[in-house]
Structure 1
Amino acid sequence: MVDVQTEIHIDRPRADVADFAADPDNAPRWYVNIHSSQRLDGGPLGPGSKVAFTAKFLGRELNYTYEFVEYVPGDKLVMRTDQGPFPMQTTYTWTDDGGGTRMTLGNSGSPSGFSRLAGLVLEPMMRRENRKDLQRLKAILEGRG
C-alpha cells in the first residue's frame, strides 16, 4: 500500500485555487508528468464525471481514466482509477490558511504486479513528484509561472 500526502500554502483565495486545481483541463499545466487530459462526458464536474489522462511515469507512457467519486467545490475532490498496474485514489483538499489557501494532495493505492518493496521505492518518488506539482501550481496561481 502506498499513501502519500503533500501540502502547500498558496497565496490566493481558496475558491481560486480549488477552481483551478479541480479543472481537469488545467492538469497538464501544473502536473509535471501529465501531458494531456480529456473530459469523457459533458455537464458540470461531479461524482461520476470521467477524465482520460496521458502521463509519463517511470519512463513509460500511461493512459488511464479517473472517475470523480466525491466533489465538494472549494473543499474536496476525490478521484479514483482502477486501471493499469497501479490502481490509485487521488484526493485534493483546500482550507483557508492565513489569507491564502492550504492545498493537500494525497495519493493512495495498492500497486498490483509490484512487490511490497516496490511500494517502498514508489512512495518517496511520488512524494517528490507531488511536491514538484504543488510548487508548479503555486507558481502559476501566484503569477510566477
Structure 2
Amino acid sequence: MAAVDVRVERVIHAPLARVAAYAADPSNAPEWYANIDSVEWRTEPPVRVGSEMDFVARFLGRRIAYTYRVEELVPSERLVMATAQGPFPMRTEYTWMSAGVGTRMTLRNTGRPSGFASVAAPIMKAAMRRATNKDLARLAQIVERRA
C-alpha cells in the first residue's frame, strides 16, 4: 500500500502569532483552502486538543466529507489533526517558526489510502502538492494583506 506524504513550506511576510492564529482556526479553512467547501464544529470553539470538526471538500472531482480531530496543539508552534472518520485516513500537521522576514509555515499531509485510492496514490500525491502550494500562497495573501 503506497503512502502519501506531502510536505510544503512557505515564508509568509507577517508576524508568527498572526499567521499561526489565523491558520490554526479551522473556521478560516474555507477561505484559504481552495478545495474546502465548509467546516462545522462538532465541539465548541476555540481549537484545542480533542476538538472535532466536520469538513466537506472537493478533491480530484469528488466530494469528500471527513471529521478531523485535533491531536496536538502548541500555540504559535504546531497543530496536528487527524481524520476521526472518512474515506482516506489523513494526518495534517502545521508548524510555524520565525523566519527573519516573517513566518515559515510548513504544511504536511500524510496518509495511507486503501482500495482504489491506493492505486491512484501517485496522482493523489502530485495533486495534493499542487493544491497545498496554492493554499499556502492564498494564506500568505490573506495574512499579509492584514499586516
TM category (shorter chain) comes to over 0.9
Q: What amino acid is aligned across from residue 92 of structure 1 in structure 2?
A: Y
Query: 2:45, 2:57 → 1: CA distance?
Result: 25
The 1:139/1:43 distance shift into structure 2, 3 A limit, reads closer
Identify the range of structure 1 (36-45 vs 48-57) with the bigger mean alpha-carbon deviation. Answer: 36-45
Q: What amino acid is aligned across from residue 103 of structure 2 in structure 1?
A: T
Runs of 4+ in 1 over 6 A off after TM superposition: none
- Say whether the 8 Å CA contact 2:26–2:47 is kept in structure 1: no
**1:119 maps to what in 2?**
121
Query: 1:33, 1:73 → 2: CA distance?
Result: 25
Identity of aligned residues (%): 52
**2:135 maps to what in 1?**
133
Query: Structure 1 length normalisation: TM-score?
Result: 0.94
**1:15 maps to what in 2?**
17
Q: What amino acid is aligned across from residue 39 of structure 1 in structure 2?
A: W
Aligned residue pair count: 144
**2:75 maps to what in 1?**
73
Cα deviation, residue 38, structure 1: 1.2
Structure 2: runs of 5 or more not aligned = none
**2:41 maps to what in 1?**
39
Query: Structure 2 length normalisation: TM-score?
Result: 0.93
**1:63 maps to what in 2?**
65
- Say whether the 8 Å CA contact 1:94–1:102 is kept in structure 2: yes
**1:4 maps to what in 2?**
6
SS in 2 for 1:95: strand
Cα deviation, residue 118, structure 1: 1.4
- Say whether the 8 Å CA contact 1:38–1:51 is kept in structure 2: yes
Query: 2:141, 2:47 → 1: CA distance?
Result: 25
- Say whether the 8 Å CA contact 1:85–1:113 is kept in structure 2: no
Cα deviation, residue 82, structure 1: 4.3
SS in 2 for 1:42: coil
SS in 2 for 1:77: strand
The RMSD of aligned alpha carbons is: 1.4
**2:53 maps to what in 1?**
51
Q: What amino acid is aligned across from residue 12 of structure 2 in structure 1?
A: I
Cα distance per residue 1:21-68 (max 9 Å; x no partner)? 000110000000001111111154211100111111111111111000
Cα deviation, residue 130, structure 1: 0.2
